[in-house]
Amino acid sequence: MTAPLLSARGLRLAFGGVKAADGIDLDVMPGEFLAIIGPNGAGKTTFINMTTGYLRPQAGTIEYEGRPILGLAPRAIVRRGIGRSFQLPQLFTEHTVLENAALAIAARAGIWSPLAALLRPGYRREAMALLARFGLVGVAEARANALNEGARKLADIAMAAALEPRLLLMDEPTSGVAASEKMGVVETLVRVLREAGVTAVFVEHDMEVVARFADRVAVWSQGRIVTLGPPAAVLADPAVRREVIGIEPAHA
């Protein structure tokens, strides 16, 4: 029995009267691709926020690589090897894509260098290689806020990946991406991550993506995980189909 990479127990968080987390228990196994699905407001982003230290749960524990990470600042959690991409891409808007990537690499390598240039040959090479893996070389010199949504999403994920995390949490990596590009983007993403041996947890609304790429699916509803299992089983579950996917059961 391999130990889980990430282990959450009994997470609880309420905002006013809303229960964003109502007793979350979840183990993420190393190397797996875990999809999180559920209706809006179910607490999916809240879970990611708690895991990355952005929010503090009112009860429960989270362990990463066997060590508790509750109460650590996002910075510290990132340093332990957990990366995160955002629903709304968080790019440095006045920098180019290449500079964004280079900054991420510099952040990993050590930001405390006040004189040598950011785009020094070493960082530049590595940044270009990173962008190449994500298919973003074409837009490397473009300003980050001039890209289309798909490219910005990928850039956001690329920056998180630049930190060479062991666990990558992605919040709706394909939302806003044009349908025609979507599968291509996800294939690229999955290939890059699997090659690097990164464990991925991603919040997703597109069931096709989930069906094709997830090893397991966790279904969120009103702050709790109601179902957890391989996609084929979970997505066929009528309750899930009704609550999450919104498919009305066929009437006789």
User: Quick one: 104 or 214, whose CB is closer to other proteins?
Assistant: 104
User: Quick one: 119 or 142, whose CB is closer to other proteins?
Assistant: 119
- Helix, strand, or coil (residue 216): strand
Q: How far is the CB of 10 from other proteins (least distance, A)?
A: 26
How many C-beta atoms surround the C-beta of residue 79 within 10 A? 13
Question: Which residue in 3, 117, 129, 132 binds other proteins (CB under 8 A)?
Answer: 117
User: Quick one: 88 or 132, whose CB is closer to other proteins?
Assistant: 88
Q: How far is the CB of 202 from other proteins (least distance, A)?
A: 16
Q: Compose the 75-114 pattern: x for residues touching other proteins by CB under 8 A, - for all others.
A: x--xx----x-----xxxxxx---x--xxx-xxx--xxxx
Tell me the H-state helices in the chain.
44-51, 74-80, 97-109, 121-133, 149-162, 179-196, 207-213, 231-236, 238-240
Q: Compose the 34-63 pattern: x for residues touching other proteins by CB under 8 A, - for all others.
A: ------------------x-----------
Q: How far is the CB of 226 from other proteins (least distance, A)?
A: 29
- Helix, strand, or coil (residue 102): helix
- Dihedral angle of Cα 126, 128, 132, 134, to the nearest 10 degrees: 80
Do the bridges between strand 59-64 and strand 67-68 make them parallel or antiparallel, or are there none, so unpaired? antiparallel
* Burial degree of 118 (CB within 10 A; 0-12, 13-18, 19+): middle
User: Quick one: 24 or 102, whose CB is closer to other proteins?
Assistant: 102
- Judged by CB under 8 A, does residue 200 bind other proteins? no
Do the bridges between strand 18-28 and strand 6-15 make them parallel or antiparallel, or are there none, so unpaired? antiparallel
Q: How far is the CB of 34 from other proteins (least distance, A)?
A: 20
Q: How far is the CB of 242 from other proteins (least distance, A)?
A: 35
Do the bridges between strand 67-68 and strand 224-229 make them parallel or antiparallel, or are there none, so unpaired? unpaired
Which distant-in-sequence residues (6+ apart) come within 8 Å of 224 by Cβ?
22, 23, 24
Name the residues that contact other proteins, by CB under 8 A. Answer: 52, 73-75, 78-79, 84, 90-95, 99, 102-104, 106-108, 111-119, 159-160, 163
